[in-house]
Amino acid sequence: MNFKVTLSLFLAISLVNCDPQLDIPNVQTTDESKEKNGIKVLVLPNSYTNDKFDDQPKSDSNNNRFDSDRSQRYGPPYSSNENDEYPQNIRDNERLRYGDPNSNRDNFKFPQNDFNERSQQSYPVNNNNNNNEQRYGNVEPRYRYENNQRNGYNVNEQYDDRYGNNFNSNYGFVNNQNYNYNNNYNDYQNLYDIENEKRIRLETEKLRQLLIEIDKKHSSECTLNVAAQWNFETNVNEATQLEALTAQQRYSDFMRYIFDQTKSIDQNYIFDEKLYRQLKLLKSAGPAALPADQLDRYNRIINDMLTIYNGATICAYEQPFQCSLRLQPHLRDIMVKSRDWDELTWVWTEWRRKAGKPMRDLFEQLVDLTNDAAKYNNFSNAADYFSSQFDSPNFRYEMENVWQEILPLYELIHAYVRRKLREFYGPDKINRNAPLPAHILGNMYAQTWNILDLTIPYPGRTYLDVTPTMRAQGYNPLIMFQIAEEFFVSMNMSAMPPEFWAHSILEEPVDRPILCQPSAWDFCNGIDYRIKMCTDVTHKDFITVHHELAHIQYFLNYRNNPKIFRDGSNPGFHDAIGDAITLSLTPKHLQGLGLIQKSVDDTAHDINFLFTLAMDKVVFLPYALALEQWRYDIYTKKIRKEQFNCHWWLLREQYGGIKPPVLRSEFDFDPGAKYHIPANVPYMK
Ligand SMILES: *[C@@H]1O[C@H](CO)[C@@H](O)[C@H](O)[C@H]1NC(C)=O
Ligand SMILES: *[C@@H]1O[C@H](CO)[C@@H](O)[C@H](O)[C@H]1NC(C)=O
Ligand SMILES: *[C@@H]1O[C@H](CO)[C@@H](O)[C@H](O)[C@H]1NC(C)=O
């Protein structure tokens, strides 16, 4: 059957038959109780936002459930494919069978029933080989499989010439076992292998055509969906929300269809590494691979947990009648500003009692479902799932190693801050040898430390905030974007395309409500790239502008790849680019822009600047590491329910030297008080 016919049939059927699996945030209504029951999770492709460390989405002020960045919107980015982590033995066996004349030679076929039929038809794209080459031929080496997880598949130059004319090394039919085996065979066998290899080339070509077809459809489906989400986020009303919901459902159905179409193609017989990876990614269904009833439970549990988290309010310290303090903005502000030990203890403890503790049982159920989803994606557990995205079989070990490299710096910072806090709170509160109490570091989770007032090494030598100068010099949002663009162009990167300037929303519109969370958008058509940001003329937003533009730079640079490759090469990559770029917005750079007049070229200013960065970036690492290692330990069943909270504090102390301000027990569930746990989104990126 024709691919497109199948597709539209499928879409038509699924729109009627499928239970909606999609969860969409409610537009704010005045009826609050109704709203709390209607909490939904929106999955939104191709929109990158800046606030990956935000405690909670900014748009929460509207009570809309928008996550703070793309992979959060996607939900757990489960990767696809078979047990890829330690595949060596299986793969090699299969490879031997393929080369062995006594084994089943018909092994090599794509089990897809209608695959041959479909791929034999000619597709328009076919006619232009150059075009294909352009789209598929220029994939950067980063798409290669470089480590031992796929040893047998690497294009290994040393073998290339031995294949002589029978092989086009482009196809990547290179495998040393295969080769060695063949080498020992007689002429007949060589002839047979040549035949077989011809067949493989033919099948590979068919697969290539299928993927080209999928790619075109994938891009256009993506464009439709992204456009609908854009219309909603930049013009929030019932009509645009409904359209966004419909578009999202359609896109999910499409991706599910692709999953069903590709899941049974046996990747063991694909030797072209680009095709292999495309297929691997297409086969990634995440939780959607769960059977309908389990998927429904999965979504409901997450929604229930988010209801607890988002609905949590506490009473103000010693003001039992003022009881509607939310994390944002109230508790966040108290954590940043208050230096009252007892008030901070109260807020810290109460937030965990209200936001974390009640979801303990739900979380336990969610762990099992998440592991089930992993198994449906052919992973042994969800920890393997999550970490597979990083294309490393030793991801946990590598994280640990990187942390060991940073640890000496962290220990210095930790010791310095402890001394400063001891001076401020007194030796009875801060022991010179003990871990730091989590509640006095200026953040609800101690994930960044906002206590510069107590700790800045050279008080008075900071030019950290150039907001007043920006305003005095007449900066506006457009100018901020133009200056940031120049910054990229000065490094030989792209200027923004005209469509960017024509369609982006750089300021909050006055005539309609929008979701202000800054985000960068790829409309999946190679032309349309936008930013949506309610830019204020502030130093902070100036940095964010650079961060968002870095996403667009990345979009522009991978725009000629197949759709499935148009994403960060791993979950950390997109934001890492923006973060790396913004590290360059040094006092010196600001001076170059004329935003700092006085000389800042001395050690005091340097140290202050670096210290400020460290209090944001370096101290965040042990938090993120502990959180994800904690979850991994639970997914792998190393830690059971009776140790959930204890293990959390063990890891917080082990990595960060942080302890709770008051005694905790297994009646508590402190990790749950952090958004990423109830939302079940990965944190390692
Ligand atoms: C998982 O493995 C089974 C058995 O090998 C296979 O039938 C199924 O298609 C695989 N699923 C995916 C998503 O790769
Ligand atoms: C906002 O959405 C409404 C409903 O679809 C539409 O009538 C209106 O023109 C939109 N406004 C803008 C500025 O796009
Ligand atoms: C600037 O980028 C172009 C390609 O975008 C490249 O050809 C050129 O060599 C680069 N120039 C420098 C100075 O790096």
Do 426 and 512 belong to one domain?
A: no
DSSP secondary structure, 584-645, as one string: T--HHHHHHTTS--S---SHHHHHHHHHHHHHHTTTHHHHHHHHHHHHHHHHTTSS-GGGHH
Q: Which two tokens stand for residue 515?
A: 């979701």
Q: Which residue has the higher pLDDT, 495 or 245?
A: 495
Annotated binding site for Zn(2+): 547, 551
The predicted pLDDT at position 191 comes to: 77
Please, what's the b/e burial string for 188-201 (b: 16 or more CB within 10 A of its CB; e: otherwise)? Answer: eeeeebeebbeebb
* pLDDT of residue 42 exceeding 60: no
Overall number of domains in the chain: 3
**Mean predicted lDDT score pLDDT of the chain:** 76
Can you tell me which atom of ligand 2 is nearest the CA of 509?
Answer: 13
Q: What is the largest CA-CA distance in the chain?
A: 91
Q: Which two tokens stand for residue 211?
A: 């993927």
Catalytic-labelled residue, pool 203, 233, 548, 628? 548
Do 378 and 297 belong to one domain?
A: yes
Do 424 and 488 belong to one domain?
A: no
SS (HEC) of 74-95 = HCCCCCCCCCCCCCHHHHHHHH
Q: Which two tokens stand for residue 660?
A: 């709770």
Q: Who's near 245: CB < 8 A, 6+ residues apart?
A: 22, 24
Do 449 and 474 belong to one domain?
A: no
> What percent of the chain is modeled with pLDDT above 70?
72
Can you tell me which atom of ligand 1 is nearest the CA of 82?
Answer: 14
Do 442 and 557 belong to one domain?
A: no
The predicted pLDDT at position 408 comes to: 98
Task: Write the residue with the smallest CA distance to atom 4 of ligand 2.
Answer: 239
Within-domain flag for 158: yes
Overall pTM > 0.85:
no
Do 595 and 645 belong to one domain?
A: no
Task: Write the residue with the smallest CA distance to atom 2 of ligand 1.
Answer: 378
478-526 tens-digit pLDDT: 999 999 999 999 999 999 999 999 999 999 999 999 999 899 999 999 9
461-478 tens-digit pLDDT: 776 789 999 999 999 999
Give the pLDDT band (50/70/90) at residue 140.
very low
CB 546 within 8 A of CB 487: yes
The predicted pLDDT at position 587 comes to: 85
Do 452 and 538 belong to one domain?
A: no
Phi-psi bin for 379: left (phi > 0), alpha (psi -120 to 50), beta? Answer: beta
Can you tell me which atom of ligand 1 is nearest the CA of 267?
Answer: 14
CB 101 within 8 A of CB 195: no
The predicted pLDDT at position 186 comes to: 60
Question: Domain end: 162, 194, 226, which one?
Answer: 194
Instruction: Classify strands 519-522 and 47-49 as parallel, antiparallel or unpaired.
Output: antiparallel
The predicted pLDDT at position 685 comes to: 76
The CA distance from 263 to 285, in Å, is 9
189-238 tens-digit pLDDT: 777 788 888 888 888 898 999 999 999 999 999 999 999 999 999 999 99
Do 121 and 40 belong to one domain?
A: yes
* pLDDT of residue 581 exceeding 80: yes
- Which residue do the tokens 């294949």 mark? 163
CATH number, residue 648 = 1.10.1370.10
The predicted pLDDT at position 188 comes to: 66
Q: Which domain holds residue 288?
A: 284-461+619-679
Site to probe by mutation for ligand 2, drawn from 512, 515, 530, 532 as the one with most ligand atoms within 8 Å of Cβ, is 512
The CA distance from 681 to 659, in Å, is 25
Site to probe by mutation for ligand 1, drawn from 80, 82, 282 as the one with most ligand atoms within 8 Å of Cβ, is 82
518-547 tens-digit pLDDT: 999 999 999 999 999 999 999 999 999 999
390-427 tens-digit pLDDT: 988 889 999 999 999 999 999 999 999 999 999 999 99
Q: Is 414 part of the annotated catalytic residue set?
A: no
The predicted pLDDT at position 531 comes to: 97
Give the Å distance between the CA of 577 and the centre of ligand 3. Answer: 19
Question: Domain end: 194, 214, 242, which one?
Answer: 194
Within-domain flag for 216: no
Q: Is 676 part of the annotated catalytic residue set?
A: yes
CB 436 within 8 A of CB 657: yes
Do 628 and 587 belong to one domain?
A: no
Question: Domain end: 194, 220, 237, which one?
Answer: 194
User: How many other CB atoms are found less than 10 A from the CB of residue 30?
Assistant: 6
101-123 tens-digit pLDDT: 222 222 222 323 333 332 332 22
